[in-house]
């Protein structure tokens, strides 16, 4: 291990108290150590346990049975898309109504006091309304479900990577998420609805695919075959894609998002099912919104976030503009990296000092009040007055100190929901904003967006990023026209607003292919596919030079054992022998019940997988591998008293079936809740029928990159390390691999601790 620059020891192992540690929401003790890997996060079982029960069920199933299963998968994906679309419709209508009431009240108040003085009352009203909405949403998140905070994308990304994030796909999380995002957007924060929509779609998928609600304790006795992590993962991928599709009206973009940013494991058959769910989601949203707006049958709205369509005259670019687009991409990468760095240190500050729920609510209210104050000040001191045209589409235009027939241009950006502001920057005609307005707005909104992301509210970062980029992108286009003194060459400044929006968002989240398709589908500008891709790639390359993407930064901040696509490039000299956990707790094929109970009750280890060997000796010599059995399987066996003595004396009512394990999934009871008498402790348990007889194994000389590739590609939870005689010498888990990463000084090894 001499080549590792930072060698640190393993800390004590945790227990199920990790349920109280909210991801991306700070630590309970207010401490943070960036050289620690959090032990409380367990792994999911994305590899099927092919024991005798599983194989017997699969072999009994006919070809027609498998066809029926495939049909059910399509039905579930359709339900996921339908319900996700309904949720998106609910969010859109609620935000439109609440924001409409708020802006109408503030506008009437401003118009009332503009002429006679007393605009401070309007400021107070705006700040109070903002703070009230945000307070309600923050209380719901901080006190009832902390896992509903943020966008939810990092959590879903971790889940699809194979990390078990407590409560991330529960019904309560969904309810608070939807309620919270409505309050956040209506409260005027620099946030968007797209991230929470992705999280909501994933929760819907996790619930629908199981055919029951464990929160409501209601089992509909359907889709029981899909009650396992492997199947659930695929449906969660479809739910995330449906959320993207509902948010942006981008079904193809949703599929690519799920593939690029979310899903760590993929199969070809899954692609069309996910696309189907995305299409249903978009159709459902558009259908019900058309009914709500009194235009049934007109499915013209592209999605929850409507950027508007670029007309044919504005979707043109010249080859000599390509270098300018690359420069804008580099600028977006630098600004995105600056955003991520500031937010990184701000999040550390929050973890250390703002970890109590009451403080989190107070901070959210403070940000809401400051946002209203800054917005009001920018509008009040702005003298950018533009004439009201006959085709003016500004819903909440303010005249303030402008002459009759004019409106305050700064109010178009600040006195609106963020997506409406983006749309105005994309499509308002040239001359709608002066350069000073755009420059001041970019600076102010950048600061507000950095401060807002990470609050204890449900919120996304897509729309604020697009709004910042659209502002400086439009400014870039105006300056080009000024420098060259030939406005006709550079055409519509909305073109540069679109490129700037892509550059800024790409610099923050580092998405490329999926974001290109999302923006193309959302704006209908296929012509800009190539420039947008070029800009996003440039932004990613430049941004990655300074810091990781925002989602990866927050995943690392919470010390999640996240496995990236490849092992660290300098890790080839490490072998399985050096990274494995040892000694390993093993069981015999026929094991004493008392020993099983004692091992499962040992809170100092909390192991979840146990190799089954031919024979264990008292001097702890390793035995030859026979199989692998999971903690969850042993708990079900103990619960049903599957003992050898009971079977021989015919005390067992029936043979245990795979259905018994599926009924207990995913909330297997803790070992402390299972009563085992003293007489039962002396009984024996035969594990042969329930263990996986063909677990994946590697020799102890296998290199770390090879172990990593096998573990990552197959979605394993446990990988058994054996010697030349096939005897168990160690066990590799997710945390054994995730603790090695490439730092500034080379390969580093992290602590493994309960943070």
Residues of the chain with pLDDT under 50: 1-30, 312
Report the C-alpha gap between 301 and 670 in whole angstroms: 49
HEC states along 631-682?
HHHHHHHHHCCCCHHHHHCCCCCCCCCHHHHHHHCCCCCCHHHCCCCHHHHC
Measure Cα distances from 385 to 44, 179, 381, 398, 620 in Å: 57, 37, 11, 10, 83
Query: In sequence order, what E strands does 105-211 have?
Result: 163-164
Widest distance between CA atoms in the chain: 97
pTM: 0.90
pLDDT for position 410: 85
Report the C-alpha gap between 339 and 508 in whole angstroms: 7
CB 285 within 8 A of CB 306: no
pLDDT for position 654: 58
Report the residue count for the chain: 755
Q: At what angle do helices 513-523 and 229-248 cross, to 10 degrees?
A: 40
Radius of gyration of the chain, Cα coordinates, nearest whole angstrom: 28
- For residue 385, give the DSSP letter: E
571-593 as b/e, with b when 16 or more CB fall inside 10 Å? beebbbeebbbeebbbbbbebeb
- For residue 147, give the DSSP letter: G
Measure Cα distances from 696 to 230, 578, 625, 715, 726 in Å: 17, 18, 11, 11, 12
Q: Which region, left, alpha or beta, applies to residue 521 given φ > 0 means left and ψ of -120 to 50 means alpha?
A: alpha
- Selection from 278, 284, 193 nearest residue 517 by Cα: 278
DSSP states of 704-724: HHHHHHHHHHHT-SEEEEE-T
pLDDT for position 367: 96
CB 33 within 8 A of CB 755: yes
Sign of CA dihedral 567, 572, 576, 577: negative
Neighbouring residues of 325: CB distance < 8 A, sequence distance ≥ 6: 317, 499, 531, 534, 535
pLDDT for position 488: 57
pLDDT for position 542: 96
- For residue 584, give the DSSP letter: P
pLDDT for position 290: 86
Residue 504 belongs to what H/E stretch? helix 493-509
Structural domains of the chain ordered from first start: 92-293 (1.10.3080.10), 317-558 (1.10.3080.10), 576-749 (3.10.580.10)
CB 223 within 8 A of CB 211: yes
pLDDT for position 571: 85
- Selection from 743, 337, 745, 741 nearest residue 547 by Cα: 337
Measure Cα distances from 572 to 1, 3, 129, 575, 736 in Å: 12, 11, 58, 8, 15
Q: At what angle do helices 171-186 and 63-116 cross, to 10 degrees?
A: 30
Report the C-alpha gap between 721 and 716 in whole angstroms: 13
Report the C-alpha gap between 718 and 404 in whole angstroms: 72
């Amino acid at each position: 291990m001499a080549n590792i620059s930072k060698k640190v020891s393993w800390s004590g192992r945790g227990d199920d108290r990790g349920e109280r540690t909210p991801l991306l929401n700070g630590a309970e003790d207010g401490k943070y150590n960036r050289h620690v890997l959090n032990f409380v996060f367990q792994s999911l079982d994305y590899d099927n346990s092919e024991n005798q029960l599983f194989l017997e069920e699969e072999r009994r199933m006919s070809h027609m049975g498998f066809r029926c299963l495939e049909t059910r998968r399509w039905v579930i994906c359709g339900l996921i898309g339908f319900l996700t679309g309904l949720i998106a419709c609910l969010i859109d209508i609620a935000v439109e109504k609440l924001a409409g009431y708020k802006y109408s009240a503030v506008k009437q108040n401003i118009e009332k006091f503009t002429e006679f003085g007393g605009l401070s009352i309007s400021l107070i009203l705006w700040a109070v309304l903002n703070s009230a909405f945000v307070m309600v949403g923050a209380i719901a998140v901080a006190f009832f479900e902390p896992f509903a905070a943020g966008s939810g994308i990092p959590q879903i990304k971790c889940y699809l990577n194979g990390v078990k994030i407590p409560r991330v796909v529960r019904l309560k999380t969904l309810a608070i998420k939807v309620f919270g995002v409505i309050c956040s957007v209506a409260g005027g924060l620099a946030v968007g609805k797209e991230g929470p929509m992705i999280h909501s779609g994933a929760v819907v998928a996790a619930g629908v695919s199981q055919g029951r609600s464990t929160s409501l304790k209601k089992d509909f006795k359907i889709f029981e075959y899909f009650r396992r992590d492997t199947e659930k993962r695929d449906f969660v991928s479809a739910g995330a894609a449906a959320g993207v599709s509902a948010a942006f009206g981008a079904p193809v973009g949703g599929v690519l998002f799920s593939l690029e940013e979310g899903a760590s494991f993929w199969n070809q058959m899954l692609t069309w099912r996910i696309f189907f769910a995305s299409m249903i989601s978009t159709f459902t949203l558009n259908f019900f919104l058309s009914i709500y707006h009194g235009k049934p049958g007109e499915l013209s709205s592209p999605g929850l976030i409507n950027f508007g369509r670029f007309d044919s005259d504005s979707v043109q670019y010249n080859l000599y503009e390509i270098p300018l687009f690359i420069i804008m991409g580099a600028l977006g990468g630098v600004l995105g990296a600056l955003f991520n760095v500031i937010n990184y240190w701000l999040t550390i500050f929050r973890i250390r000092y703002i970890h109590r729920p009451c403080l989190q609510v107070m901070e959210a209210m403070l940000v809401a009040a400051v946002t209203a104050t800054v917005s009001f000040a920018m509008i009040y001191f702005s003298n950018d007055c533009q004439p009201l045209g006959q085709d003016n589409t500004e819903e909440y235009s303010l005249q303030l100190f402008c002459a009759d027939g004019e409106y305050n241009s700064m109010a178009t950006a600040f006195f609106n929901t963020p997506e409406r502001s983006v749309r105005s920057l994309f499509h308002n005609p040239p001359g709608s904003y002066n350069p000073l307005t755009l420059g001041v707005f970019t600076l102010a909104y950048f600061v507000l967006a950095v401060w807002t992301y990470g609050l204890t509210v449900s919120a996304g970062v897509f729309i604020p990023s697009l709004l910042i980029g659209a502002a400086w992108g439009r400014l870039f286009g105006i300056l080009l026209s000024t420098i060259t003194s030939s406005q006709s060459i550079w055409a519509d400044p909305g073109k540069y607003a679109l490129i700037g929006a892509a550059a800024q968002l790409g610099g923050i989240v580092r998405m490329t292919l999926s974001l290109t398709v999302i923006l193309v589908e959302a704006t209908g500008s296929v012509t800009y596919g190539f420039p947008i891709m070029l800009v996003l790639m440039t932004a990613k390359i430049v941004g990655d030079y300074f810091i990781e993407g925002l989602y990866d930064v927050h995943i690392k901040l919470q010390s999640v054992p996240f496995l990236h696509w490849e092992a660290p490039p300098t890790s080839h000299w490490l072998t399985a022998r050096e990274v494995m956990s040892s000694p390993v707790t093993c069981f015999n094929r026929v094991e004493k019940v008392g020993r099983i109970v004692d091992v499962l009750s040992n809170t100092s280890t909390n192991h979840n997988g146990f190799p089954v060997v031919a024979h264990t000796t008292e001097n702890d010599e390793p035995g030859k591998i026979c199989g692998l059995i999971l903690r969850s399987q042993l708990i079900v066996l103990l619960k049903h008293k599957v003992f050898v003595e009971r079977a021989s004396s015919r005390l067992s009512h029936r043979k245990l079936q795979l259905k018994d394990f599926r009924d207990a999934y995913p909330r297997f009871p803790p070992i402390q809740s299972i009563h085992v008498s003293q007489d039962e402790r002396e009984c024996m348990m035969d594990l042969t029928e329930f263990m996986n007889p063909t677990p994946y194994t590697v020799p102890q000389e296998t290199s770390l990159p090879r172990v990593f590739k096998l573990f990552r590609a197959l979605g394993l939870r446990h990988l058994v390390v054996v010697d030349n005689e096939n005897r168990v010498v160690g066990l590799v888990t997710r945390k054994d691999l995730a603790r090695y990463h490439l730092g500034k000084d080379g390969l580093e090894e992290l602590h493994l601790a309960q943070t």
